[in-house]
Amino acid sequence: MMIALFIIVTMGIIAVTQGQRKIPVQYAKRVVGQKVYGGQSSFLPLKVNYSGVMPVIFASAILLFPQQILSQLGAAFALPFLVEFSNNLLQGHWMYYTFTAALILFFSYFWVSVMFKPIQIADDLKKYGGYIPGVRPGEPTASFLDFIMTRLTLAGAVFLTIISILPDLLLFQLSVPPRVAYFFGGTGMLITVGVILDTMRQIETFLLQRHYDGFLKKGRIRGRTTSANVAIGEAASDKSVMQLTAVMVIILLVGLTAWAVRHFAL
């Protein structure tokens, strides 16, 4: 059961981390001399989890200070209500999860508001002759992007909240050992999956660069039949390498989960 839950959580994290909303962008044609520029269609990717793991880290760090301060003040001045309130801010109490969800939601929107610039994106699209079909260039485009990003950020914040409180649910509701419970979520799981995805992306980039360098070393254009056959063979080789890497990563994670369940179970 734990292995199945681990696989489901991992697949969910990968899906949300890689998930994005593709906004179609059309570029108008421009005639410069005897050449025609533009007239192409592309897309603008907007990630669901744009802020990454930062809201969870900020929320966890900020919640530590009020609990410690209120606990010390309540003990120093003999104020039982402060001590009781500080105890409610500990893990396992509903108030802790309420503040955690609120802080994750706040920092998700705060991070997006700082890093995502819809006005600048709209100006750049207008400058280079790009527009979103059905949306006027300029301020309407910025408002449209801001509206889409607001909804995506809400979905990402809900996902981060579920992942952050999942270990506590396993620990306090299902009596799972702490070292096993915290292996199924939280910042550690998000960072681990993110690092693995970045590693696989770097491997893919390395393979593409290797083939590109090999093409330059030839110094001539290959024939259509030969180049097509070689390209098919190289693509199959790349795909096999990526699949092998993914299988190895899954086997490693499943092995670590089985080892943790076996050695740290009560």
DSSP tag of 151:
H
Largest CA-CA distance found in the chain, in angstroms, rounded: 86
In this structure, are residues 135 and 149 in contact, taking their beta carbons and an 8 Å threshold? no
Residue pointed to by tokens 């949306």: 135
For the segment 143-184, what is each residue's pLDDT rounded down to a tens digit?
A: 999 999 999 999 999 999 998 888 888 887 777 777 667 766
Q: What is the per-residue pLDDT across 83-142, written as a single tens digit (0 to 9) for each?
A: 888 888 887 788 888 899 999 999 999 999 999 999 999 999 988 888 999 999 999 999
Strand partners, 145: none
Q: What is the pLDDT of residues 130-145, one digit of tens each?
A: 899 999 999 999 999 9
Helix (H, G, I), strand (E, B) or coil at 92: coil
Verdict on whether the full-model pTM lies above 0.95? no
Phi/psi of residue 182, each to 5°?
-75, 0
For the stretch 196-229, pLDDT in tens is 877 777 777 777 776 644 333 444 434 334 433 4
Question: Torsions phi, psi of 26, nearest 5?
Answer: -115, 135
Nearest 10 degrees: CA dihedral of 136, 139, 142, 144? -50
